[in-house]
Chains A and B, each alone.
Chain A
Amino acid sequence: MKVALVGQPNCGKSTLFNLIAGYKAITSNFPGTTVKYTETKTHIYGHTCTCIDLPGTYSLSSMEPAELEARKHLLSGEVDVVINVADASLLCRSLELTLQLLELEIPMVLCLNMMDEAQRKGIQVDPGKLSAILGIPVVSAIATTGKGIQNLFVEALKAGEEKKRGNVQKFSKDIEEVIYSLAILLASEKRVEEKVPQRFLAIKLLEKDFSLVDGINPGGDLRGKIQFFQNKLEEIHGYPSDEVISAERHALAMNLSEKVSTVIHPPERDLRMVIDHWVTHKVFGYVILVLVFYGFFNLIFGIGGYIEKPLLQIFEDLSERLRDIYEPGSLFLFLAVGILQGIAGGIAIVLPYLVPFLIGLSLLEDVGYLPRVAFLMDVFMHRIGLHGKSIIPFILGYGCSVPAVMATRILEFPQHRFIVAILATMIPCAARITIIFALVAFLIGPNAALSIFALNILVVAVFGKILSLFLPDASLGLILEIPSYQPPRWGSLLQKSWYRIREFIVIAWPILIAGSAFLALLEYAGVERYFSWFLSPLTWVLGLPASVGTTLVFGLLRKELSLIMLTQALGTTQVLTVMTKTQVMVFAVFVTFYIPCLATIAALWREIGKKGALLTILFTFFVAIFLALATRIFFGIFFGG
């Protein structure tokens, strides 16, 4: 049996999904985090069922790629039962989606989630009454604590087996008449896929959403007939037919929610409102923004630096001991030191920074600070010619470029997605941030590291401006829900961070160790210098040691490799003994900007096409060379070497 979780953004769908699937979907307090759907197999009372977490959608229209994705899946005919997750504290709006889902004529269960939040707002919802009206089981639940979840799935399985459909809620009489006539027309035309219910299709067409029907040409015969019905509604009501339908649906939902809920007390004016007052303030909002990110930066640096130093010493001692024991120049020594340095890179250099960074990012995400950042930064994004929502891929980019590129789907226009996807790959991801911390902050100082971040933001802004001159912004402007703050729940927070850290430990780290050993082998065979020779024009221009060349090649696989291979290539974890501070800076700047890693290139390929991916490779490569050269000259003048 196939169960689909459907709900509006931020209704707690992914939290619910993770409860039954183990940790597989990234949740956050940000509308639209799930852009791709996640699938899992699960066992409930001896039944094996496939459960899919669809992207959050406010309605079943075709306005955003995430919405289309969800709708396509629901109409595919493969879904046996829908679990509609509704935010009980926002019942009226949630029901608007429920009403549309009912029109799909798929067995369904309504999950009233966030009952605790509703209570805080002083609202009491009667699930029994709602169930009687809608003709589907209604289960109240609190996904964050797991309350009611088991019951929910039992009801869902039952509904799926019984194949019982809910009661489609009727609009006003005059509208129903138009819907009915249009549905009859569509049935006689036979141009519609069987799976799409006639009534649903008729309503979508009255909403002027033509994406469900192929072959309706503007000016064509069928199109004309459909327009006749649209006009009919417009004549009666005096405004566009899509607005007639949506206003009607809104009224229906409002009516329903008033019938089933009672206000027991006025909403408590809690601390969250006071906090929001300051966080979104004209002046203090920005002060807080700067303080939060500055504090965040210093915390990671503080923790990471504190751990990195003694650990590096331990590994340095270990490899010294290896050198004492084994014969110099032997294959075994090369291999042993190579593997040891791969392990050291993971434990001593990457993890001390990666772990606090990812926990911190997850915390900011879960609490719900990021939408406020989008609100505050919108005006600046527009100054550089980008849509305010672009800030979301950028912020995600500080975690990993792959989800950042994928998050560009929240932007409506392809040309926009193109620009933001390219720019987002230039934002240093966790791996590159680690490099900046472990090399620049650790060896030169925190301010030098901060200057790289500042340079990065400046460069992204300048190129955003330039690119948007060629592809100007034609979008509507910001429309973004600002969800209420959620107190962080440490369990799910740590689970989420672990989910992200595991990606490094399971996938990246073994590659690091293997890569390090491989480089040691190359060195042993004396082949490594050919690599370096091949890249010597680049390293020569940048004024870097020739042996650094190979690390840049490895960095294309995984960005962390550049750092770890650096210590392997230089033959020491004490980098400053063989490189000057200027060289370290040039290296870090180059690594920050140059060609995205393979996984990101693949994501780019999917999202903006082959040409876009190739363009990004060339573009970032030349930008990196230019900036690294500028760094070399600048640092050379002021600091020598």
Chain B
Amino acid sequence: MILTSLDHVAENQKAQVIKIHGGWGIRGRLNQMGIHPGDIVTVLRVGALGGPIIIEVHGFQVALGRGIASRILVEIAE
């Protein structure tokens, strides 16, 4: 088990959300998109040049800016 932030997860790796760092706005918006502590996400794409990442959560895809991804603490399953 490795604790890290979502922006450090490689393509095609699964991770479980542990905690979302950030205020009301960022939490609310991620929650709306179905991202909560405890959820399993799969990183599908890591954009070039520090661009956004695409993750799959609950069967749909969401693009997240690197800055946002860095605020999502996750645990990578071995």
Contacts and interface: CB of A to CB of B under 8 A. Distances in A.
Bound together: yes
A378 B36 contact: no
A247 interface: yes
A285 B47 CA distance: 10
Interface in A61-117: 61, 63, 89-90, 92-93, 96
B10 interface: no
A61 B52 contact: no
Contacts of A286: 48
A121 interface: yes
A317 interface: no
B13 to A, nearest CB: 16
Interface in A472-523: 476-484
A482 B58 contact: no
Interface stretch (A175-183, A368-376, A551-559, A568-576): A368-376
Interface in B18-47: 19-20, 22, 24-34, 36-38, 44-47
A578 interface: no
A280 interface: yes
A246 interface: yes
Q: How large is the interface on B (under 10, 10 to 19, 20 to 34, 35 or more residues)?
A: 35 or more
A247 B27 CA distance: 11
Contact of A247 (B22, B29, B37, B63): B37
A63 B27 contact: no
Contact of A243 (B31, B46, B64, B68): B31
A240 interface: yes
A388 interface: yes
Given A90-B59, A477-B65, A477-B67, A379 B27 contact: no
A371 B63 contact: yes
B61 A476 contact: no
A90 B62 CA distance: 13
Contacts of B29: 63, 476, 479
A239 interface: yes
A240 B30 CA distance: 14
Contact of B62 (A280, A476, A480): A480
Contacts of A478: 52, 63-65, 68
B60 A479 contact: no
A93 B60 contact: yes
A378 B47 contact: yes
B48 A379 contact: yes
Interface residues of A, number: 44
A379 B50 contact: yes
Contact of A250 (B22, B31, B48, B60): B31
Contacts of B64: 477-479
Contacts of A285: 48
For chain A, what secondary structure do more than half of its interface residues adopt (helix, strand, loop), or is it mixed?
mixed
A482 B51 contact: no
A67 to B, nearest CB: 9
B42 to A, nearest CB: 12
B68 A250 contact: no
Nearest to A282: B48
A58 interface: yes
A126 interface: no
Contacts of A58: 32-33
B66 interface: yes
B66 to A, nearest CB: 7
B33 A240 contact: no
A61 B28 contact: yes
Contact of B24 (A93, A208, A239, A479): A208
Contacts of A376: 47, 51
A250 B63 contact: no
A476 B68 contact: yes
A431 B22 CA distance: 44
Nearest to B56: A482
A234 interface: no
Which one of A283, A481, A483 has the highest number of Cβ atoms from chain B below 10 Å of its Cβ?
A481
B65 A482 contact: no
Contacts of B38: 247
B63 A242 contact: no
Given A476-B65, A482-B62, A92 B34 contact: yes
26 contacts: A58-B32, A90-B59, A96-B32, A96-B34, A208-B24, A242-B28, A243-B31, A243-B36, A243-B37, A246-B31, A247-B31, A247-B36, A282-B46, A283-B48, A375-B63, A379-B52, A476-B25, A476-B68, A477-B66, A478-B64, A479-B33, A479-B65, A481-B33, A481-B60, A481-B61, A482-B61
